[in-house]
Amino acid sequence: MSHTILINGSSLPVIIRKHPRSRRMIIRYQPLQHHVSLTLPRYTSIRQGLHFVEEKRAWLADQITEKAQPVPLADGQIIPVLGNDYTLRHIGGRGVVSIDGDRILIPGDESFMKRRILEWLKRQARTEITRLATAKAEQINKPLKRISLRDTSTRWGSCSHDGNLSFSWRLIFAPYEVLEYVVGHEVAHIKHHNHSAAFWATVGEICPDYEKCRHWLKIYGSKLYSYN
Ligand SMILES: [Zn+2]
């Protein structure tokens, strides 16, 4: 019988083993297999074990976010930006960060490279998200209010009760249609402040392929936190 736990909206298999010499329950997140392993002492029931896993849900969520393989924003590193791969190149000298073919050129002192690329990425994210949100709000005839960017680990986007939108700038590392879906999702909340069938119909209007994107976020969303 297979067991699963829902973490950050993603369903993870729980692999249970009995260990005769184990004195307590042991839970581990296994990043390569992307599952949770649970070791049980001989006289602990599976039901007790699963209850224990449920109690550790928040801790597991942290583990998953932390263990996504880190990708340093350093010279030579390849990173996805709005769905295309670019190689980061530190070039020294003066000037502004720029794109040259499939490279992102970062001038200035090497010790400032990370800060400069982060600033640049956030600016690109803001520009693209604003452009997308404006277009999608027009599609559903709703006025757009303030847009802010965040680096929160819990949500990719949100819509306040008075219609202000906020997004994680890290969506810039996601496939383009995933970014488009998150923007569409929050714009649709300007019209429907819930997740009703009417809300999803509006999302479908402005992001026809949204199911695929929701799925991507559930499975790979934590990866967007690995670029640092
Ligand atoms: Zn929502």
Question: 196: domain CATH number?
Answer: 3.30.2010.10
Number of domain units in the chain: 2
In this structure, the answer to whether residues 213 and 157 fall within a common structural domain is: yes
In this structure, the answer to whether residues 92 and 53 fall within a common structural domain is: no
Does 106 reside within a domain?
yes
Query: Do the beta carbons of residue 177 and residue 141 sit within 8 Å?
Result: no
How far apart CA 45 and CA 135 sit, in angstroms, is 54
In this structure, the answer to whether residues 60 and 108 fall within a common structural domain is: no
User: What's the pLDDT tens digit per position in 51-94?
Assistant: 999 999 988 888 777 666 678 999 999 999 999 999 999 999 99
Does 212 reside within a domain?
yes
What pLDDT is recorded for position 67?
A: 64
Q: Determine the distance separating the centroid of ligand 1 and the alpha carbon of 11, expressed in angstroms.
A: 19
In this structure, the answer to whether residues 56 and 97 fall within a common structural domain is: no
Residue ranges in the chain modelled with pLDDT below 50: none
Q: Determine the distance separating the centroid of ligand 1 and the alpha carbon of 134, expressed in angstroms.
A: 18
Tokens standing for residue 201: 């119909």
What pLDDT is recorded for position 70?
A: 78
What pLDDT is recorded for position 22?
A: 84
What pLDDT is recorded for position 153?
A: 60
According to DSSP, residue 68 is labeled: S
Q: Determine the distance separating the centroid of ligand 1 and the alpha carbon of 138, expressed in angstroms.
A: 19
Q: Determine the distance separating the centroid of ligand 1 and the alpha carbon of 195, expressed in angstroms.
A: 6
Q: Determine the distance separating the centroid of ligand 1 and the alpha carbon of 189, expressed in angstroms.
A: 7
